[in-house]
Each structure stands twice: as structure tokens, then as C-alpha cells.
Structure 1
């Protein structure tokens, strides 16, 4: 007997109506998110990929590139650092696939991301930059420094994720790619219910410090709740251990001056295993602990980040000056 003969026609009609209503509500939620948080910077196309980029400060001079962490966008670090960095030439980037930046098709990796960012720096003619990376953005920052050393003169890492085996991906990241359940999560559940989870996630990211007023709104974090953005971030987090295992053996070969700024009370990752242990393996890294701070320490301690930028930049230039005076080794 056909299955349709066993299901009352009224139930089929009711289920179809429920799906249609839910789909409409989810589409409206996505439209509201994009209306609330429109792109506020310029779009630059690099190798056929449209990237959302904000440039602030002087038009010339040494540049700082800021790479946000997972589940985020350029507005998050801009909210934290913009006022403190008013005198600096800064490039704020929506990392590919997040915020308003596109991500190319195919398998994505820190290597591909670093290559695309390097091409962006060439396109806007920044010269060698100081790159700031927060959390997962720290891993991308180091990949950029390792793969494209001529374009990175120094590095500042804020609560970085650097070592493999940091734990399994959250179940909802993996489940976002399951048959049936995956589309249900990405197209219905996340757009309709995700903001509540985002708020609780922010509390964890800032603990033990307070979440700034109107943080979700001012940082445009709900942009993550759009299906394509959610899937891009979920894919990154599903493969984070593999990506870090692939690159962490190369950290000893990173010769740019690097400041690693860790929070002693970080509840998002084990800071000693990441910034702490990695700093011991990098020939020109210095480690700084911020007491009483959480994973998003850049919001409450922006002056520490700016001071670190000035120090690593000076170290890089002193090295360049010494090399110029002494010439190449015999």
C-alpha cells in the first residue's frame, strides 16, 4: 500500500502549510538581519572574489591588518579597537565567507585564505603589514606570516587558537551538513532561533568581564545566522583540528616579531596550550598575560593591543636596520 494512502490528506496539507509558513518566517528573519546590518565598507574584488574591506586612518604609511575570529565579521574588532587605533592605518576585513565577503567554491583552508588575503594586500598596495589576529583569526594570521613573509613584518595574536586537538566541533556545526537535519538547521532553526544562542555565547567569550552594552547589535554578529555564512563558519570549525595539525609544525620557522596576548581567565580555549606553549617554540615571540580578562580581551584592553603593535613593529624595523648596516652573512 502506498505510504500516501496511510497518511490522512489533512495531515499532509497541514504539514505542507507548516513548512511553508516556517520557510516564510525564516526568509523574513534573514531579510531583517541583512537590513539591520548592511555592508558599511567597500567591496574589493580579488581574483574574482568579492571581499568586504574597511580602511581607516592615514592613507599612507605602515598598515595594520585586522583578522576577526570565528563566527564574526570586521565590525567585531572594529567595535573594540577603532577608537584606540585612530592614528593608525588599518585594514579591517570580513574574512572570506563571513560578514559580507564571499568565499570561493571548493575546499577551503587557512592556506587558501592566506593566499587570498595576500592578494588583497597586493591589490591595495599596503606594503608589509602588522597583522592582528583574534582567536581563529590568529591561526589565519600566522598562516599569512608563514606563507607570505614578504607581506607581513610583524604579528599580534589575541587569545589565538594555534594548536591542534582543541576538542571536537560543536555538534551543531557537524550536524549542519547532515542530510535532512542539516538544511533544517541552517535554513530554519538558526535564522529563527540563533540570536538567543549568540547572546549566551557572547557571555562565555567575555567572561569574567562584562559584555559591552548592545554588543550583538554593534558588532553585527547576527550576520552569522544567514545560511551560507553559517555553513562557511561551521565548515571551518568542523575541520579546525585538521587545519591546525597541518600548520603547527611550522611555527618554529616564523621569524617575524610576534606578540601573543593571552587572557588568564579565558573559558573558550586553553590559553596556555595555544598562546603559552606556542610562544616557546617561536624564535621571536613574546607572551603577555592579561589578568582578569576573558577571550574577547581586546574590548576591555585595547591599549594593550596598540602597545603590542608598536613594539613588534619597532622590533621588525630594528632588525631590518641591523641587516642593512651589516649586510648579508658571509
Structure 2
């Protein structure tokens, strides 16, 4: 390579590095703005050296709420907790790497997530809780019960991703979860993507129901648009299936009451792949399919979810 060519290549590299520096600076500034706009709603616990965000309200039997992919506790503080806090002590956690909870070494493992959050619940003096998991949180709820079957009163699984699905994940999550995609995509997304894009994605997650008025402003879309959150979320989704493959054969030993709710129109986590097989795997499960409802069942039909929690409490002897 001649001197002119080397000089041109050097200029290109300098320009690329300068571009990266600008992107990183803008991403850092946007993250700071997102975090200032959407601070923790609850308390920050130190659990074995990891910060865990817990939102606690109400009194009564302990009820743990575990959110889905890309989410945080604000998904529950929008509406559901207000429907429950008059008769349950509701404890909503940000899962590791999302919201205001730190990532952990084994961040992609729903069993490791459950162990961290069980330790956090113990720090809050929770005992024999009902554990509700939505979407990815359904896998964590089942992992919770598998690790502590005698200390878990009941499960409520809402639109849960709980069974190993056929085929491989492709597309956006697969790309961001890859080594190259994880390095390249998050800084660009955090720095440049308008918040309105996240709101359009949200509309697809809620379909066929509309996004409830005020939800987008409440949930804090920007919290999911941080670089490390993008990475954590994508890896959790793309790495989930092997853990479900290991967990599913163990479901039959769970004899605690389980309420399973799933929307008939859920295209993100289809009921035929997840809810129906799960109901067959569990010896003490009750399955409710909600006609016309999509993936966000706790927003589309919150009273059905509240009724399922009350049934679980009654079946467990807590009410």
C-alpha cells in the first residue's frame, strides 16, 4: 500500500472513530435524560452486591409481579397494582438488566434471575408468595417455583413464554443478540432512534388491542432504549429456549396451584405453543383462554387477571 493510500485509510479511520465518539456521546446524553425522566418508583435493594429495584404497595398475602421482555415495574404500576393493593402486599421487581435492576453474571438464565429476586423478596420478609409472571416473566416465575416449591404458594402465568418453541429466532432480536449486532446496533439506536419508533413497536405488542391512553408516557420507553438494556433484553430473548428445554421436563413435579391466562390472539407468544402445553405439563393448573385478547392480557382484561390471582390465593388457602 502506497503512502497516499495509507493516508486516505488513516483519514477514514479517524473519521470513523470521531463518528463513534459522537454517537457514544449522544447515546450517553440521551440515557441520562431518560433516567432523569423515569427514576425508580420504589426502593433500591442491595442483594449480594447487586442493586434490585422493588416497588412495594399494599398489605395482605405477598404477591410478586415479574414483567416481560423490554419491560419494567411501570408496566404494573400503570393500572394493575391499584386493583390489588387493597388485599395483597404487591412486590413488583425489575428483572436483572432491565429497568433499575443491575445485570448479573448469568443474566440470560431465568433460573439465576429467579434466585436473585427470591433473595430480594426474602430481604423484604416475603413469605409463601403468589408469583405472577408475564411473558418472559412467566419463565422466571416457573423457575422460582422449581427452585422453591415448598415456599411458593401459587403461580399465575400471564401470556407466559414457558415452553421450548420450534425453530430458531431470526430477525431483529437475533441480530442484536449476536456479537456483531450487540456491538454495533445499541449505540446507534440509543443515540438516533426517535422515541416514537418505540411507541410504534409497542402498538404491535399490544395488538389487536390499542395501547391504553397514557401508557407510553408512563412506562418510560427510554428506559428500554439504553445501550445495555438493548443488549440484555436481546440476549435474554435469544438465549431463553435452551433453558426452557431444560426446565419443561421438571414442570410435572410442581403440585402447587397454577392459574394460566393467555390471549387467544397472542401472536408474540402463541397459546398453542406455550399455554396449552404448559397446562398439560402441570398437575394442578387451570387454563383460561381469553377470546380476542393479544399479548398484553393484563391490560386488555385486567379483571380476568385479578380474578385469576384471587383464585390462586383461594386455592392456596391464603384467602
Alignment partners' CA distance in 2, 1:75 and 1:50: 17
Q: Map 1:2-21 onto structure 2 (within 5 A).
A: 5=6, 7=8, 14-21=15-22
User: Which structure 2 residues correspond to residues 1-330 of structure 1 after superposition, within 5 A?
Assistant: 1=1, 5=6, 7=8, 14-58=15-59, 61-87=60-86, 88-106=88-106, 108-165=108-165, 167-176=167-176, 178=178, 181-193=181-193, 195-317=195-317
Report deviation, 1:62.
0.8
Q: In the alignment, what sits opposite 1:325?
A: none
Q: Distance in 1 between matches of 2:195 and 2:74?
A: 17
Residue pair 1:46, 1:116 contacting (<8 A) in 2 also = yes
Stretches of structure 2 that go unaligned for 5 or more consecutive residues are none
CA contact (8 A) 2:199 2:221 kept: no
Per-residue displacement from partner, 1:96-155 (whole Å, max 9, x unpaired)?
111000122246411211111221222111110011110110011011111111221011
CA displacement, residues 32-67 of structure 1 (integer Å, 9 cap, x when unaligned): 111111112101111111100011012xx3110000
Residues 1:182 and 1:146: Cα distance change in structure 2 (over 3 Å): closer
- Given the superposition, is the C-alpha separation of residues 107 and 298 from structure 1 closer, same or farther in structure 2, using an over 3 Å criterion? closer
Query: 1:174: Cα distance to partner?
Result: 3.5
Q: Number of residue pairs matched? A: 317
Give SS of 1:236's match. Answer: helix
Alpha-carbon RMSD: 2.3
Larger radius of gyration: 1
Aligned equivalents of 1:176 and 1:194: distance in 2?
Answer: 18
Distance across 2 between alignment mates of 1:109 and 1:77: 23
- Specify every segment of 5 or more residues in structure 1 that has no aligned partner in the other structure, as ranges: 322-330
Alpha-carbon offset, residue 16 of structure 1: 4.4
Q: Report the TM-score, using the length of structure 2 for normalisation.
A: 0.91
1-side partners of 2:2 and 2:289: how far apart?
66
Report the 3-state secondary structure (helix = DSSP H, G, I; strand = E; otherwise coil) of the residue aligned with 2:153: strand
